Amino acid sequence: MVRPVARRLHAENIEEVVTTALKRSGVSLEEIDAVAATVKPGMPLSLVVGTEYGKQLALNARKPFIPIHHMEAHALTVRMVEQLIIEINTRIFWVEFPFLVLLVSGGHSLLVLAHSVDRWSIIGQTVDDAPGEALDKGARRLKLRNIPECSSMSGGQAIEHLAKEGNPRAYDFPTPMWKYRDCTFSFAGLKHSLLKLITKLEEEYEVEGGNIIPPIRDVCASYQYAITKHLVRQTQRAMVYNDIRGLLPKENLKLVLSGGVACNNYIRSALQKLCETTGYQLLCPPPRLCTDNGIMIAWNGMERWKAQSGVIYDEEAIKNIDI
Ligand code: KG4
Ligand code: ZN
């Protein structure tokens, strides 16, 4: 989305979103304990709208303010989901710390050890693009918006959809970071290989303008396969690293998968297979809570409130929070 447009839409809608949320939940502003809002990371132009609104709301209502890190919220969502299951099925289950987290979105690719609400160790991250970015830019170059059934899908969704009927071994992609033995990610090389492949295929099939290359499904399937393979490989390394260092309890190994790209069923099932062979339990929020949503920010606020960690009471300190 064009940044100034995103900012305008945020500014135009925030008041109504907050009012509707309060009305629907049947809770008044006086009854809430604190105000939580995302302060980082992200596009400053849009972030500033929510941060400033949240700060002002907290100051006007004389409530504490809880600044939220967007990726922490993605990582904690699963604890809320499992708690909802307890309430519905009276099943006693709670995603206890510590656990391993793979966060894959449009801006991030992170392998993190979650020790507690406020203690996280990053064990791998991308040196260039995020997987969602590689999927979105690939989808744009493949002109997937011109395919009617994909016109309203995100890039990642469209690639997953078309890949279902494609051959994942049709085209080879280079293995990223093959020289290194750590958990670092890199998706820029895969993206560039895709762009080169598209140009070659367009020449081969004499495709012009907004037309789509005939082997589109095979290209999508092979690209998705290459991205998935890289995610699985680095995650497996993180598991080996945990194993050697004894960082997670052997009787309760958990991998949490979240972020927009975690909606992808092909990636979920590849990680499920990895977990089955390594003795991990894969935990993943439902798709609507994997992509960006306000509920995960509220939940992160609850977690921090319960732990009384990062809660800002002082009015001057709230005013001085910056994105
Ligand atoms: O977490 P998110 O909603 O926003 C960021 O924090 O970036 O993630 C958005 C990303 C987009 O790149 C989008 O293409 C990707 O998630 N995505 C998917 C799928 N649905 C959304 N990627 C792969 N498969 C999907 N089904
Ligand atoms: Zn996100």
What confidence tens digit (pLDDT) does each residue in 178-226 have?
999 999 999 999 999 999 999 999 999 999 999 999 999 999 999 999 9
In a domain, 238, yes or no: yes
DSSP class of residue 63? -
CA distance 184 to 173: 18
The answer, yes or no, to whether any atom of ligand 1 lies below 6 A from the CB of 160, is yes
Statement to judge: residues 248 and 110 lie in one domain: yes
SS (H, E, C) 98-111: CEEEEEECCCCEEE
Question: Model confidence at 82, in pLDDT bands (50, 70, 90)?
Answer: low
CA proximity to 41, closest of 33, 53, 51? 51
Check whether residue 216 and residue 235 sit in a common domain.
yes
Quick one: what percent of the chain has pLDDT higher than 70?
96
Does residue 111 share a domain with residue 124? yes
Q: Which atom of ligand 1 is nearest to the CA of 291?
A: 3
Cβ burial of 244 (10 Å; 0-12, 13-18, 19+) is: exposed
Does residue 103 fall inside a structural domain?
yes
Q: Residue 107: which CATH number? A: 3.30.420.40
**Is the ipTM here above 0.90?**
yes
* 139 shares a domain with 128: yes
Q: Is residue 232 part of a domain?
A: yes
If one counts the domains in the chain, the total is 2
At 42 the pLDDT is 84
pLDDT for position 89? 56
For residue 54 and ligand 1, the question of a CB distance below 6 A is answered with no
Query: How many Cβ atoms are within 10 Å of 272's Cβ, its own excluded?
Result: 16
Do 298 and 279 lie in a common domain? no
User: Which residues touch 265 (CB under 8 Å, ≥6 apart)?
Assistant: 160
- Kindly state whether residue 155 falls inside one of the protein's structural domains: yes
Q: What is the pLDDT of residues 136-189, one digit of tens each?
A: 999 999 999 999 999 999 999 999 999 999 999 999 999 999 999 999 999 999
* Nearest C-alpha neighbor of 200 from the set 141, 150, 130: 141
- Please give the number of the atom of ligand 1 that sits closest to the Cα of 290: 1
Q: Are 40 and 60 in a shared domain?
A: yes
For residues 278 and 305, state if they share a domain: no
| Ligand 1 and 285: CB distance under 6 A | no
Residue 298 domain flag: yes
Q: Which residue blocks in 26-167 are alpha helix, DSSP H?
A: 44-61, 70-89, 131-141, 155-163
Q: 257 lies in a domain?
A: yes
In short, whether 130's Cβ falls inside 6 Å of ligand 1 is no
Average pLDDT, the chain: 94
**Residue 70 covered by a domain:** yes
The closest ligand to the CA of 159 turns out to be 1
Show the domain range for 49.
3-76+293-319
Residues 72 and 130 in one domain: no
In a domain, 83, yes or no: no
What's the CA-to-centroid distance between 186 and ligand 1, angstroms? 17
Q: What is the pLDDT of residues 228-260, one digit of tens each?
A: 999 999 999 999 999 989 999 999 899 999 999
Does 158 share its domain with 307?
Answer: no
Are residue 15 and residue 139 in the same domain, yes or no? no
Query: Do 31 and 104 reside in the same domain of the chain?
Result: no
For residues 248 and 100, membership in a common domain is answered with yes
